[in-house]
Amino acid sequence: MSTVNQSLYEYLQNHTKEVTETWFKTLEEDDVDSVYSVKDADSIYKLMQQNSDYIKNLSRLFIAPASEVRQHILSWIGEIGSDRAHLQTPLNQMFREFVRTRDIYLSYIEKFVKESSVEVTKEQHEEWNYQVVKTLDFTIQHFIKKIDTNTTVQLEAQKEMINELSSPVILLQNSSALLPLVGDIDTARAKSILENTLAQCAEKGVDHLYLDLSGVVIIDTMVANEIFQLISALSIIGVRTTLSGIRPEIAQTAVQLGLSFDQIRIKSTLAQALAEN
């Protein structure tokens, strides 16, 4: 490590707070859902600390191997990429702030070159700038990847929650329950309904389930098959099923599949089905 690199590192470390303050003071954000629109003191402190931590990691470029610096940056990304406020912020806004941070940081390297008592060659200055830009590119690439991964996980969790909420097993009386299905049902949702319903019936001690399809407009052959598999699975665990609200097109689909209604109680409406309870 050269003396001039050590001097640059110390200069940037000493000016880290100033770099972050410059970044924050010039921050403009109208999107209220953005992490950059924070107003309360705690959120402002957290945001500035995150920026400051990155600046410190970046400055290690001049005294440590690039591989070591990247490991520190990946750890930083792991924390920031899991931050809820960042997950809710559009990627273009975060990309914009990485670029702004880069430009401010490079301006401080420029200041060092002008103010330093140690002579810095043009080639050395260009090499510093190149390393900074290269490291920022690495950061943005892995940051976006982390955000994308965590967003996908979050969306899948939300989707699973919605599926659970959209297929609630409602306890009635005498160990009976109601499962009213509403809206479009695709194959993925049908499988989720099968799994959730079996689990809820077992958990709640249900022995008779009223399955109402009057709120379902369209069911394709795959979904119809899943519903009949649900009924068969419920029978295996000792739960009787009464179907209601079967539309003609649903009945036609079931017949085309060769599905048997022999062992299934069927009522035209939910009211008729519940009247037997």
Q: What is the pLDDT of residues 21-35, one digit of tens each?
A: 999 999 887 777 788
For residue 232, the one-letter residue type is S
Q: Give the pLDDT band of residue 75 (cuts 50, 70, 90).
A: very high
Comparing 49 with 265, which gets the higher pLDDT? Answer: 49
pLDDT at 53 over 70: yes
Higher-scoring residue by pLDDT: 218, 145: 145
pLDDT value at position 247?
79
Per-residue model confidence (pLDDT) at position 147:
86
Angstrom distance (rounded) from CA 172 to CA 277: 9
What pLDDT, on the 0 to 100 scale, is given for residue 87? 79
pTM: 0.61
State how far the Cα of 113 lies from the Cα of 102, in Å rounded to an integer. Answer: 17
At 182, list the tokens. 């509403």
3 state DSSP class of 210: strand
Determine the average pLDDT of the residues in 264-277: 81
State yes or no: pLDDT of 70 exceeds 90. yes
The pLDDT tens digits of the residues spanning 89-139 come to 888 899 999 999 999 999 999 999 998 888 889 999 999 999 999 999 999
Q: What is the predicted pLDDT for the residue at 167?
A: 62
Residue type, 6: Q
Average confidence (pLDDT) over 63-82: 92
Beginning with the edge strand found earlier in the chain, give each strand of the sheet holding 208-215 in spatial order.
170-171, 176-182, 208-215, 240-244, 265-267
Burial of 228 (0-12, 13-18, 19+ CB in 10 A): middle
Q: CA 61 from chain center: how many Å?
A: 32
Which residue did the predictor score with more confidence, 84 or 254?
Answer: 84
| pLDDT reported for residue 166 | 54
* pLDDT score, position 46: 93
Please give the average per-residue pLDDT across 220-231, as a whole number.
Answer: 81
Closest of 220, 215, 216, 205 to residue 169, by C-alpha: 205
The answer on pLDDT for 16 being more than 90 is yes
pLDDT in tens, 157-198: 666 655 555 568 888 888 899 988 887 777 777 888 888 889
Instruction: Report percent pLDDT > 70 for the chain.
Output: 93
What pairing do the DSSP bridges indicate for beta strands 176-182 and 170-171? antiparallel
Instruction: Look at residues 43, 129, 132, 143 and name the one whose alpha carbon lies nearest to residue 96.
Output: 143
Is 67 a residue whose pLDDT tops 80? Answer: yes
Which of 81, 135, 80 minimizes the C-alpha distance to 106? 135
Q: Look at residue 96 in the predicted model and tell me its pLDDT.
A: 92
